[in-house]
Amino acid sequence: MNISHLRYAVEVEKTGSITRAAENLYMGQPNLSKAIKELENSVGITLFRRTYHGVSPTAKGKVFLDQAREVLSKIQEMESLYQNEEQTLAFSICIPRASYVSYGIAQFISSLDQSKGFSIDIQETNTLRTLERVVNGECNMGIMRCVRDRRAYYMSLIQEKHLHSESLWVSRFLVVMSESNPLASKAVLTLDDLQDAICLEHGDEELPFAPRERRSSGRHQNEKSILVYERGSQFDMLRYVPNTYMWVTAIPRPILESMGLVLRACEPDSNWVEDILIYPQYYHLTDLDQAFIDNLQMVRDEMGSCIETDLGISQP
């Protein structure tokens, strides 16, 4: 068994395919299959089961691969200890489509020493993909967004995958819309106010982030919705398509003002969302990681203060 074999096995698990893994590793499929077989013979267990749809880890294989990722992470950590200061700093994270998070990342990056090299990898995606990418080592950290009635489920997944978790922010849902929307004249909205409006939703989320009362009623024939898949489209729709709105958490003032948008509370206050930082238990936060977290917490505190001041409401 050698380090290369461990990397090969982790890549096979990540792709679920010997062929795709071989392509990603720039090696021939027969050579990769041979290496995996040598690794299985070395450790004395079968790591993968072969199916018509690809390969998947066996029960013992999952345990071994968790340990393999930990070993590879430790090796990477040891290598980083001896990097000189002129080498590129690396930072990677998966985040939800939350404006305050992207705003915090932009502020964080702008504070970096531009004379030094750095590599920043930011992936905006949904909750389950964030979990998957952190577990597979595609990102060092992730921020999972959990609605209240699904928190226990997501926390069980976090524990099952041996991830460290830290609550970043608990926030109630708000409604964002164009300042020219007729509903913007109301200080506080009700669900009835939104009946004839057009609801924007992220199309690849596992669960819509709308309050329970809104979701439980189902899709009526007169209900209007638009599915979007990234925040740029979201803002364009809100600005240029009349009578549109979206359920969101707080959005920083500079973004609202630049886009001509407003936030409104909606009663009854039926649901909240929690953003949770996750990373493998064996991963040690770098100085760059900690600087980002500290910056995001400052943005969060500013946002909480703005919500209380602008909307007259307190967070959960």
Give percent of the chain above pLDDT 90: 38
Domain architecture of the chain: domains with CATH: 3-68 (1.10.10.10), 83-316 (3.40.190.290)
**One-letter amino acid of 277:** L
**One-letter amino acid of 78:** M
* Band (113; pLDDT cuts 50, 70, 90): confident
Residues in a beta bridge with 49: 56
CB-based burial, 134-156: b 16+ in 10 Å, e otherwise: bbebbbbbbbbbbbbeebeebee
pLDDT at 83 over 90: no
* Band (131; pLDDT cuts 50, 70, 90): very high
- Does the pTM surpass 0.85? The reply is no
